[in-house]
Amino acid sequence: MTKPANFENYHIRKWYTQIDDTLANENGVLADGAVLRKIVIAAAIHNPYAGKFSENLELILNNSPALGHEFGRRLVAALAGEEFESYGKSCIVGTNGEYEHGNAFLTPAMVMPIREALGGGKAWIPSSGKRGALGAEIDIPLAHKNALYVPSHYDTVTTQFFDAPNPDEIVVAFAVATRGRLHARLGGLKASEIGGQNGLN
């Protein structure tokens, strides 16, 4: 079933914003510095390929930069001037779609405008995805925006959409965090030691 477009060529049923602040670790030890804030921006988007196979996924790909700009705008608004240090992306494909349909939303064409809106980032953006029904949970992996090999910033943010995805929808999500894990103490490259040359260290 064709649904009317309300953003470029996409039909977006709903936008989601999730913000959680961690003030202490699991044992109640207060944060070693700033509070850890994790923000997820997501959209439930009609899947134009639900229920059918297509070699060409241009209905998703063609205007993905515009979608990325909107994700970026919403992330910047949610950060409200606060700096972020790590990021990640994810998708949940409704049961009438293919996992590949979700991945079509997570290409560099969509992600680069988000990166630009947030002020850059040299490291590749970790990703996860799956097919699922209404209320499916997803773990979005996080890593440091400028250097992948920073152990303190290996993290996840778990999110759930109680009314999405419908079978003919895809939930597309992007997450940021303002710092690494509280009381990270496993050694390795520190964020303060990042060289920032190659996106790895």
Q: What's the pLDDT tens digit per position in 48-83?
A: 999 999 999 999 999 999 999 999 999 999 999 999
Torsions phi, psi for 73 (to 5 deg) = -60, -45
* 127 within domain boundaries: yes
* 104 within domain boundaries: yes
* 65 within domain boundaries: yes
How many domains are there within the chain? Answer: 1
Looking at the predicted structure, is the pLDDT value of residue 18 above 70? Answer: yes
Instruction: Give tens-digit pLDDT for 23-41.
Output: 999 999 999 999 999 999 9
H-helix segments, 11-96? 58-61, 64-79
- Tell me what the pLDDT averaged over the chain comes to: 96
Looking at the predicted structure, is the pLDDT value of residue 2 above 80? Answer: no
* 187 within domain boundaries: no
Amino acid (1-letter code) at residue 39:
I
* 4 within domain boundaries: no
Q: Burial, 134: exposed, middle or buried (Cβ in 10 Å; 0-12, 13-18, 19+)?
A: middle
Which single residue is written with the structure tokens 């608004």? 77
* 5 within domain boundaries: no
CATH number at residue 40: 3.30.1330.110
* 61 within domain boundaries: yes
* 60 within domain boundaries: yes
Q: Which domain holds residue 73?
A: 12-181
